[in-house]
Amino acid sequence: MRGVSGTLVGIAWDIWRAERGGPEGIARRQQARLAELVGFARSASPYYRHLYRDVPDDVADVRQLPPVGKRELMENFDDWVTDPHITLAKLKSELLSDLTQLGRSYRGQYLVVTTSGTTGEPAVLVHDRTSWVVVNLVVRIRERRTLVRRAEVRTFLRRGLRAAALVAGGGHFAGVVLTESARRRAPAIARRVRVFSVLRPLPELVAELNAFNPTILYGYPSAMTQLAAEQQAGRLRIRPVLAISSGENLSAAGRADIEASLGCRVTDRYLSSEVPALTSRCRLGSFHVNADWYILEPVDANYQPVPAGVTSHTVLVTHLVNRVQPIIRYDLGDRVTFAASPCLCGSPFPAVKIEGRAGDLVSFAAPDGRAVTVLPLALGTVIEETPGVRRFQAIRTGPRTLRLRLETEDGADREHVQTAVEERLGSFFADQGTATIDVEHSDEPPRADRSGKFRQVWSA
């Protein structure tokens, strides 16, 4: 099967075979699916028909196509989608404004999610049935040995499977839509899986988790970090077997902290609402792009290709399956590095490292006024590793100013911690070659945004 109109078994078989066919087989699938997708988008999406008016009929290389961005797609939403029954206005009034509809399929066949909008306008994403079939099968087949380990399965059999989804309530975000959709399909799942909104007051969340006693946690790592602190303080008393983080970057320090406090393994996933099964994690911990179903192109700021081993400015993704809302060379905003040599696990799929989001890059002024770009992860680590800091947020408010929201450890002297952070930041900025940066301490505590994401470093 080359196309995407196959049966469940046909798709599963193809996912299995692609893994064994090597890079050539993957490239062949990619090309055949791309040609079909572009042909379909041209005939059924007025937006793409217009966009591709000067593109030759036969597209052999994805780079012949112009990139697209979230903003212009959302502005042309009704022309973008290929089912004329779907309009943004109807989606908003019939589904998105109603939280009792969470996880319900729209018009009996579509799953609809919205993104958080941390980098501007939220996107509304519509997935058709085949798109979800592929997602479910790819996860089951390609992560059959890595997502849950054999010893963990035995523990689940003994202690029961109870999964707590740590996601944001109050909107049709992917984590909650997927969980509720699974609950609607099967009563057995409904009893075992529960959504916990990370936007609720922490004491309530802790009390409910204690009562539910989950064996699996999944969702935002920032929420897990918060729970790790609660567990250390003795207020939270859960014994999860596995924590699956997604939706945000998980730092090595963050992972170690969660593992030590909650006493379970932490694994993470790299995917997005636009491309829900973009990568699978191998036994060595690398993310491999599922390149038979999704094309991921690392590019520079001018959308020119970036070679393996070099960190991209952003990435363009193409979803080779979803027909109702074609995603073709869509700017995802993530900065990634493709591995320059094959992963030792033997997978034919390219391995990729996630470095953060393009929108997160922060720049400060050098003494001569030039801009110096600073890696948010590095800046965050300097603050995070200062003794006494429990949580923080750093907001660049100007070329020479940084505002900090600090939460200190119990018993730590706040002023002392603030001074230590300032000193460490002073030498960090000096090393980076910036002018003197004024650090102002905010009275506000660190907090999550509306979607439940907890960003650590950004530009105001």
Residues near Zn ion (CB under 5 A) are: 282, 284, 286, 343, 345, 347
- For residue 143, the minimal CB distance to Zn ion (Å) is 12
* Residues 268, 240: Cα–Cα separation, whole Å: 15
- For residue 282, the minimal CB distance to Zn ion (Å) is 3
**Of the two residues 141 and 202, which places its CB atom closer to Zn ion in the complex?**
141
- For residue 254, the minimal CB distance to Zn ion (Å) is 22
**Of the two residues 260 and 284, which places its CB atom closer to Zn ion in the complex?**
284
**Of the two residues 203 and 342, which places its CB atom closer to Zn ion in the complex?**
342
* Residues 387, 419: Cα–Cα separation, whole Å: 11
- For residue 267, the minimal CB distance to Zn ion (Å) is 14
- For residue 279, the minimal CB distance to Zn ion (Å) is 11
**Of the two residues 113 and 291, which places its CB atom closer to Zn ion in the complex?**
291
**Of the two residues 279 and 386, which places its CB atom closer to Zn ion in the complex?**
279
- For residue 342, the minimal CB distance to Zn ion (Å) is 8
* Residues 31, 66: Cα–Cα separation, whole Å: 17
**Of the two residues 225 and 347, which places its CB atom closer to Zn ion in the complex?**
347
Rounded to 5 degrees, what angle do the CA atoms 284, 290, 292 make? 140
**Of the two residues 179 and 286, which places its CB atom closer to Zn ion in the complex?**
286
- For residue 347, the minimal CB distance to Zn ion (Å) is 5
- Whole-angstrom CA distances from 155 to 152, 209, 239, 256, 359 are 5, 19, 11, 22, 41
